[in-house]
Amino acid sequence: MITPLVVANWKMSIEAPEIREFVASWRATADAAVDCVIAPPLAYLGLLSQVPGIQLAGQDCSSEASGAFTGECSAASLLALGCQFGIVGHSERRQRHGETDDIIATKAQQLEAVGLTPIICLGESSQEREAGETFAVIERQVRAAVRGLHRAPVFAYEPIWAIGTGLPAEPSDAGTVQQAIANELKSIFGKKGDGRVLYGGSVKPENTAEFMSEQGIDGLLVGGASLTAESFMDICRNAGG
């Protein structure tokens, strides 16, 4: 049985005082039978490095291993800072920074090369959804993202129209897309392996159990609802059943 993976992406929505408050209130959720991961702002990774029951993720990484790339953070640096995962391909990076499928694939390769697990975000826009292109978009993004990888990564299905809107996908619809991603992983790698498939998009404690009851959903990628310890602990407990 796959252990659920619950990932908090704090983006740039929290500062050191709030993180210290989070740490002071956090209680390890080993009884929830989930893997808990937090991706804080890069500068604050150290504030979470000794928190029990939490693994760390970078919110992004460079597509280059080293060199004259001002402001970038390499995969090797994330590893040195105590990360086990790295998030790439978030819709904000795709839309606001013009990141292509090729760039995202290269970043995933960089993470894998140093021993980190890539968490690759993907999802369709509202226009693509209305045009009936969801599954075509997902297949293209999956196949492009795993180019050059030797093992199945984690995928996070985040329909763009559901991120931060308070309007999550219907759990059954999300489960159908998640299963399609899992099938793609099996067809590419011969088996799904450790390639867990997460759902993200307006996740909160109240809808966690419903999402996790759907076949194909192996965990969650959480935004705003993960910013307080109590809310994130509730999500982790609910995800673990």
Residues whose CB falls within 8 Å of the CB of residue 5, separated by 6 or more in sequence, listed in order: 34, 35, 37, 154, 196, 198, 218, 219, 220
CA distance 23 to 116: 24
pLDDT (tens digit per residue) in 58-73: 999 999 999 999 999 9
Q: Give Rg (Cα) of the chain.
A: 17
Give the 3-state secondary structure percentages of the chain, helix then strand then coil, rounded to 5.
Answer: 45, 15, 40
pLDDT (tens digit per residue) in 30-55: 456 899 999 999 999 999 999 999 99
pLDDT (tens digit per residue) in 11-24: 999 999 999 999 99
| Whole-Å CA distances, 52 to 28, 73, 163 | 6, 25, 29
Give the helix/strand (H/E) hosting 60.
none
| Whole-Å CA distances, 64 to 35, 47, 68, 70, 82 | 29, 26, 10, 11, 19
pTM for this predicted structure: 0.94
Task: Tell me how far the alpha carbon of residue 234 is from its chain's centroid.
Answer: 18
Give the position of tokens 């489960």: 175
Tell me which DSSP letter residue 150 carries: S
What is the set of active-site residues? 90, 158
Q: Is 34 in contact with 219 (CB distance < 8 Å)?
A: yes
Q: Is 186 in contact with 192 (CB distance < 8 Å)?
A: yes
pLDDT (tens digit per residue) in 148-158: 999 999 999 99
pLDDT (tens digit per residue) in 164-189: 777 778 889 898 999 999 999 988 88
pLDDT (tens digit per residue) in 96-117: 999 999 999 999 999 999 999 9
| Strand locations in the chain (E) | 5-9, 35-39, 55-58, 85-88, 117-122, 154-157, 197-200, 219-222
CA distance 90 to 67: 24
CA distance 217 to 199: 7
Give the helix/strand (H/E) hosting 196.
none
**What percent of the chain clears pLDDT 90, i.e. is strictly above it?**
79
Walk me through the domains of the chain, giving residue ranges and CATH numbers.
5-239 (3.20.20.70)
Q: Judge whether residue 211 has pLDDT over 60.
A: yes
| Whole-Å CA distances, 122 to 60, 89, 127, 136, 209 | 14, 7, 15, 12, 22
Please name every residue paired with 9 in a beta bridge, in sequence order, or none if there are none. 39
